Structure 1
Amino acid sequence: MNNEIIRVLLVEDNPADARFIKEHFKDIREMRETPFLISDANSVSSAVEHVTNRHFDVILLDLSLPDSQGLETLHRMHTHAPGMPLIVLTGLDDDELALSAMRHGAQDYLIKGKFDIQLLSRAIRYTIERKRSEAEIKKLAYFDFLTGLPNRVLFTDRLKQAIIMAQRDTRNVALLFLDLDNFKKVNDSIGHAYGDRLLKITADRIQNCLRSADTVARIGGDEFVVILPFLSGTEDVPKVAEKILHSLKNPVTFEEHEIYTSVSIGISMFPGDGSTVDDLLKNADIAMYQAKEGGRNNYQFFSQDMNVQAVTRQLIESSMRQAISRNEFYLVYQPQYNLRDRVITGFEALLRWRHPQKGNIYPQQFISIAEETGLIMPIGEWVLRTACTQARKWHDAGHSSLRIAVNISARQFKQDSFATLVQTILAESGLPPQFLELELTESTIMEHADKNVQVLQKLKNLGVTLAIDDFGTGYSSLSYLKHFPIDRLKIDSSFVRDINTNGDDAAIAEAIIFMAHSLKLDVVAEGVEQEDQLTFLDSRNCDMLQGYLMSHPLSVTEVGTLLTHVPQTTG
Structure 2
Amino acid sequence: MSRSVSPNALAPPRYDLRQINRIRWLLVLLLLACGLAFSLLLVRAPATTFSLAQQLALAASLIAILLAAALICRVSRRSLSHQSGEINRQQQRLRQFMDNACDLIIAFDDDQRIHYLNQIGRQRLGLAADEPLPAAMEALLAPSQQQLWHNRTCLLGVAAPFEPTVLLLRDRQGGEIQVDCRISSDRSGQPQLHWLVGRDLSEKIAADQQLHYLANHDRLTGLRNRHSFTEAASQAARLAQRYHQQLALALFSIDHLKIINETLGNENGDELLEAFSKRLHQSVRETDLVGRLAGNQFVVLFLQVDGPLAVEQVLEKIRRIIAAPLPIAGQELFITTSIGLSLFPQHASSVDTLIKTAGDALYSVKTRGGNGFQFYSPQLGSEIKNRLAMINGLHQALDRNELQLRFQPKVRLDTGGFDSVEVLLRWQHPELGQVPPGDFIPMAEESGVIGDLTLWVLRQACQQCLAWLQQGLPPVRMAVNVSGHQLQNRELLLQLKTLLSETGLAPELLEIEITESILMQNPEAARTLLGEIRELGIHLAIDDFGTGFSSLAYLKRFPVHSLKIDRAFIKDLEQSERCASLTAAILAMGRSLQLNLIAEGVETLGQLAFLREHLCDEAQGFLYSTPVSAGEIAQMLSNLQNRRTAFEVAQAAPRINTGLRQAAPQTP
Kindly indicate whether the alpha-carbon contact (under 8 Å) linking 1:468 and 1:488 is maintained by their aligned counterparts in 2: yes
Q: What is the aligned partner in structure 1 of residue 494 from structure 2?
A: 420
CA contact (8 A) 1:439 1:469 kept: yes
**Aligned residue in 2 for 1:179:** 252
CA 1:318 to 1:174, structure 2 compared with 1: closer, same or farther past 3 Å?
farther
Does 2:639 align with 1:565?
yes
Greater alpha carbon shift after TM alignment, 558-567 vs 300-309: 300-309
Which of 365, 371, 378 aligns to 1:304? It is 378
* Pairwise CA distance, 1:373: 4.8
Within 5 Å, give how 1:398-413 maps onto structure 2: 398-399=472-473, 401-413=475-487
State yes or no: 1:384 paired with 2:384.
no
Aligned length: 480
Q: How does 1:159-308 map to 2 (within 5 A)?
A: 174=247, 176-179=249-252, 191=268, 195=272, 198=275, 201=278, 205=282, 209-210=286-287, 216-221=290-295, 223-225=297-299, 266-269=340-343, 272-275=346-349, 277-287=351-361, 302-308=376-382
Cα RMSD, aligned residues only: 5.8
What SS does structure 2 have at the residue aligned with 1:304? coil
The AA in structure 2 aligned to 1:378 is D
Given candidates 417, 420, 425, the residue that maps to 1:346 is 420
1:130/1:419 CA distance change after superposition, 3 Å? same
Q: Please give the residue correspondences for 1:24-173 in structure 2 after superposition, counting only pairs within 5 Å.
A: 139-156=213-230
Corresponding residue number in structure 2 for 1:114: none
- 2: CA distance, partners of 1:245 / 1:416: 35
Cα drift, residue 205 of structure 1:
4.4
> Is the contact made by 1:186 and 1:195 (CA closer than 8 Å) also made in structure 2?
no
| Deviation, structure 1 residue 556 | 2.5
SS at match of 1:394: helix
**Residues 55 and 247 (structure 1 numbering): CA distance in 2 closer, same or farther, change over 3 Å?**
farther
Structure 1 distance, partners of 2:314, 2:602, is 46
* Distance in structure 1 (CA, Å) of the matches to 2:332 and 2:226: 30
Q: CA deviation at 1:476?
A: 7.3
- 1:485 and 2:559 are equivalent in the alignment: yes
Cα deviation for residue 435 of structure 1 reads 0.8
Cα distance, 1:301 vs structure 2: 5.4
Q: Is the 8 A contact 1:199 1:222 kept in 2?
A: no
- Match of 1:466, SS state, is strand
Letter in 2 for 1:179: F
1:358 is the counterpart of 2:435: no
1:464 correspondence with 2:538: yes
- C-alpha distance 457-280 of structure 1, shift in aligned 2 (>3 A): same
Q: Which amino acid aligns with 1:388?
A: C
Q: Structure 2: which 5+ runs fail to align? A: 1-99, 107-115, 123-136, 142-148, 154-162, 170-177, 181-195, 644-668
Structure 2 contact 247–345 (Cα < 8 Å) conserved: no
Q: Which moved more, 1:391-400 or 1:153-162?
A: 153-162
CA contact (8 A) 2:367 2:440 kept: no
Contact 2:508–2:537, Cα closer than 8 Å, also in 1: yes
Question: Taking structure 1 as reference, are residues 132 and 447 closer, same or farther at Cα in structure 2, changes over 3 Å only?
Answer: closer
Structure 2 CA distance for partners of 1:55 and 1:285, relative to 1, 3 Å: farther
Aligned counterparts of 1:239 and 1:173: Cα–Cα separation in 2: 11
1:524–1:279 Cα change, 3 Å: same
* Counterpart check, 1:444 vs 2:518: yes
Residues of 1 paired with 2:372 and 2:511: CA distance?
A: 38
Give % identity.
33
Moved more, 302-311 or 274-283: 302-311
> Residue deviations 1:282-330, cap 9 Å, x none?
1133445678999999987543245455455444444434433333221
> Residues 393, 174 of structure 1: CA spacing in aligned structure 2 closer, same or farther, 3 A cutoff?
same
SS in 1 for 2:431: coil
1:177-235 deviation line (CA, Å, top 9, x unaligned) = 3427679599969945754653674586489722xxx865432346444568xx9x975
User: SS at the partner of 1:357?
Assistant: coil
Query: Separation in 1 of the partners of 2:589 and 2:289?
Result: 55
Counterparts of 1:505 and 1:133, CA distance in 2: 59
Q: Secondary structure at the match of 1:424?
A: helix
Q: 1:311 to 1:276 in 2, by over 3 A?
A: farther
User: Deviations 1:403-444 (Å, cap 9, x if unpaired)?
Assistant: 211112233222222222211222222212111111223333
Amino acid at match of 2:515: T
Question: Contact (CA 8 Å) 2:251, 2:299: kept in 1 or not?
Answer: yes
- CA gap 1:403/1:472 in 2 versus in 1, 3 angstroms: same
TM-score by length of 1: 0.63
**Contact 2:248–2:311 at 8 Å: present in 1 too?**
no
In structure 1, distance between residues paired with 2:586 and 2:240: 62
Matched residue, 2:398: 324
The Cα shift of 1:241 comes to 9.5
User: Residues 406 and 426 of structure 2 are in contact (CA less than 8 Å); yes or no, is this contact kept in structure 1?
Assistant: yes
Gaps of 5+ in 1: 8-28, 42-49, 58-82, 86-120
Counterpart position of 2:621: 547
**TM score, norm. by length of structure 2:** 0.55
Contact 2:179 2:199 in 1 (8 A): no
Matches of 1:363 and 1:262, distance apart in 2: 21
Residue in 1 aligned with 2:407?
A: 333
Moved more, 266-275 or 378-387: 266-275
* TM-aligned CA deviation for residue 354 of structure 1: 0.9
The one-letter amino acid of 1:209's match is E
Helix, strand or coil for the counterpart of 2:407? strand
SS at match of 1:334: strand
How many angstroms does 1:147 deviate by?
A: 4.7
Distance in 2 (CA, whole Å) between partners of 1:299 and 1:498 is 23
Write the letter of the residue equivalent to 2:495. Answer: L
| Partner Cα distance (1:244, 1:186) in 2 | 24
The change in CA–CA distance for 1:138 and 1:562 in structure 2 (over 3 A counts) is same
C-alpha displacement at 1:452, in angstroms?
2.8
Equivalent residue runs for 1:524-535 within 5 Å: 524-531=598-605, 534=608
